[in-house]
A and B are shown apart, each in its own frame.
Chain A
């Protein structure tokens, strides 16, 4: 028997999970929010979703062609970016601005930094902030046929009362995917059950934010105010779907909690003292920048390591 068999380093078996499958789970998890957005804002919401997804996928494909890199659109990450971006846009946004946002997300935020896994900032949020600065008026125009008022958080800021039940269900104005807390949470529960995310980042984010608002929000313990703050401004969408972005959040378990706290404090800060009433996007992308530093200081102790430290001290 002189046949040559395959040789490789162990292990010789693999699980069935793939990057594409994880991305598919995220897409499925975003479906309730997307469908509610289409129901809430009408057909144009669907159009914007399709436009941003197409822009993201196409620009990734073209970019890889131009720089002679392997085609990566099958990993579905561009679809996730496009969908998330669309859910963060007001339904009234001109379609070409949305498309430009998609191109910015993929080319500038992701591909120029080396593609999937290398970007330091969440592409969808990076693009949203780009659009907020470039097309400030369009990006804050939440007036539709159904909703003529300001977003609940902006309304609250002006001293108006808001209906928190409407905010839970999502019958309010806002970006396409952020309005329904229930729809977002259904998706979040799906992701947790499928093992896509765990609670470290979202829980530490939301709890920190709630505590911050209690202490510094200026309303003391006002349940109605606190609920509105938690339900509004895309906090839930941000906490479960964007702060948990693998690439731009810490990989260390301790770092994830620090990162969530960081997001929570910044969101609270921006909402309480900032110029506009939201602030989730800016809080997350700013926190993204702290990730390398957070990781550096949260290197997990290895199994049995504490005892090793003691032993070495004793021995020397």
Chain B
């Protein structure tokens, strides 16, 4: 096997068969659209519309709240109904713009660019920033910030994160099969900014058709290559991906740029293409709506801001009553107690499971078996960190490098004593970071 990878990791049940062969289907929103002002890392966007305003699809409704922030665009035409806190997938209440959908989808005009190669670096970054492009794999880091490293000349790799290592998710897979041209064009646009970089498409080897197709397409592109990766979770973790592709290791105190890398997800690179070439802001994306509770699991292209309830309806509704509904994948996604929740730029998947296998878990004593140590892609000792976390020992927690945890959940996954290691570590990490910010 020539596929590259990292140390550690786990092999969860893939579950991708459910939705993998379902072509992308477009879903038009019917009900209200809700746009949380924080759907990215950084300062929340600030609304530039007022209640009662008529707005068009593709019209900017909130301006970036700073450099590390991103504007938000309406994904359907209608009237602003309210600007109020709404519940989002992670469980928080976030100030959101609520728009009544008039069902007409009247669209604002866009300004496409006929000659992308003539654009300057700053023009490209400005177009990406203006279009509201953020990391659409889940983190939501504003892409224009990523594309503005301190020393652009030192960037040697632009890595397209095509790993899609989370079980059940197939949205990126479908994108690669159905929109490979946009992905490659998007990559070329980013490469235009970084003269010394080469583009690498890192794809897990459970998607041989993508590897084959994209390899053939980039055959004549001197600056782009495909890098097959071992199928192992969390292969798509930023640090793990960089290591697999370049052999360089970064830690929590570094940015990918410190290793000469910029990593962007498939969906994000396609958004860059749409922004720069077509002048289109981020108003839609693909999600995998899947799980054994869904009647028609598949991959759906929808207007961002549509409620999850509508997407479930589009996927044929529930064939069995689900017990657990997860925004994102089963390893890192957020369980939601209801489905009347808006989708955002980072909604990669909705997983509806008839059985919550975690519910019946009864944690028993840690036997020190070290399976979590073997699984940890950050080479930590999760069982110890969880213990420090449970006992509030922040000093020991830091000494054992707890802050390096990427919250991938591999430790909880493998634990034979069924301990909630990741939960304890995440909680402690939050506390330690909060205490540090206070200082």
Contact = CB atoms under 8 A, between A and B. Distances in A.
Contact of A1 (B7, B339, B366): B339
B55 interface: no
Interface string A1-35: 11111111111111101110110000000000000
A37 B65 CA distance: 75
A19 B364 contact: yes
B431 interface: no
Interface string A244-256: 0011010111000
B347 to A, nearest CB: 15
A316 interface: no
Nearest to B364: A19
Contact of B335 (A2, A7, A21): A7
Contacts of A305: 251, 401, 404
B371 interface: yes
Interface stretch (A49-57, A185-193, A296-304): A296-304
Interface string A70-100: 0010010100000000000000000000000
Contacts of B420: 9
Q: How many of chain B's residues touch chain A, expressed as a range?
A: 35 or more
Contact of A77 (B7, B254, B338, B367): B367
B333 to A, nearest CB: 6
A163 interface: no
A289 to B, nearest CB: 15
A116 interface: yes
B416 A11 contact: no
B111 interface: no
Contact of B381 (A9, A77, A252): A252
Contacts of A68: none
B412 A116 contact: no
Interface string B369-396: 1110100011111011000000000000
B228 interface: no
A57 to B, nearest CB: 17
Contact of A303 (B167, B377, B417): B377
Nearest to A115: B365
Interface in A258-316: 299-305, 307-308, 311-312
Given A1-B339, A246-B367, A246-B369, A303 B404 contact: yes
A220 interface: no
A118 interface: yes
B356 A8 contact: yes
A117 interface: yes
A10 B357 contact: no
B94 interface: no
A5 B401 contact: no
Contacts of B357: 12-14
A302 B364 CA distance: 27
Interface in B166-188: 167
Contacts of A116: 364-365, 367
A1 B331 contact: no
Contact of B378 (A10, A22, A302): A302
A253 B336 CA distance: 38
Nearest to B417: A19
Given A1-B338, A10-B332, A301 B379 contact: yes
B361 interface: yes
Contacts of A311: 253-254, 258
Residue in B243, B368, B420 whose Cβ sees the most chain A Cβ within 10 Å: B368
Residue in B338, B339, B351, B364 whose Cβ sees the most chain A Cβ within 10 Å: B364
A115 B367 CA distance: 10
Nearest to B407: A10
B43 interface: no
Residue in B10, B383, B416 whose Cβ sees the most chain A Cβ within 10 Å: B416
A252 B383 CA distance: 11
A15 B12 contact: yes
B325 A5 contact: yes
B359 A8 contact: yes
B251 A7 contact: no
Contacts of A304: 239, 249-251, 254, 404
A308 B401 CA distance: 12
A106 to B, nearest CB: 14
B44 interface: no
Contact of A308 (B254, B324, B335, B407): B254
B334 interface: yes
A302 B379 contact: yes
Contact of A12 (B324, B377, B410): B324
Given A5-B324, A11-B332, A247 B373 contact: no
B364 A72 contact: yes
B353 interface: yes
B251 A15 contact: no
Given A5-B338, A12-B353, A251-B384, A22 B409 contact: no
A247 B368 contact: yes
Nearest to A9: B423
B419 to A, nearest CB: 10
Contacts of B339: 1, 5
Contacts of A11: 12, 330-332, 358, 409-410, 412-413, 422
B263 to A, nearest CB: 14
B12 A9 contact: no
A300 B381 contact: yes
A46 B65 CA distance: 76
Given A299-B400, A300-B379, A253 B251 contact: no
B333 A10 contact: yes
Contact of B383 (A1, A13, A72, A251): A251
A303 B379 contact: yes
A13 B369 CA distance: 20
Interface string A167-183: 00000000000000000
Given A13-B13, A251-B370, 17 more contacts: A4-B337, A6-B323, A8-B324, A10-B333, A10-B335, A11-B413, A12-B356, A13-B167, A13-B358, A13-B413, A14-B415, A15-B12, A117-B366, A252-B381, A300-B380, A304-B239, A307-B249
26 contacts: A1-B338, A3-B321, A3-B338, A8-B356, A10-B333, A11-B330, A11-B358, A12-B335, A12-B357, A13-B12, A14-B358, A14-B413, A15-B414, A19-B369, A19-B416, A117-B365, A246-B367, A247-B367, A251-B383, A299-B399, A300-B373, A304-B239, A304-B249, A304-B251, A307-B254, A308-B253
For the complex of A and B, list the 8 residue pairs with the smallest distance between their C-beta atoms, beginning with the closest.
A11-B409, A304-B249, A304-B251, A117-B365, A9-B423, A302-B401, A302-B404, A6-B356
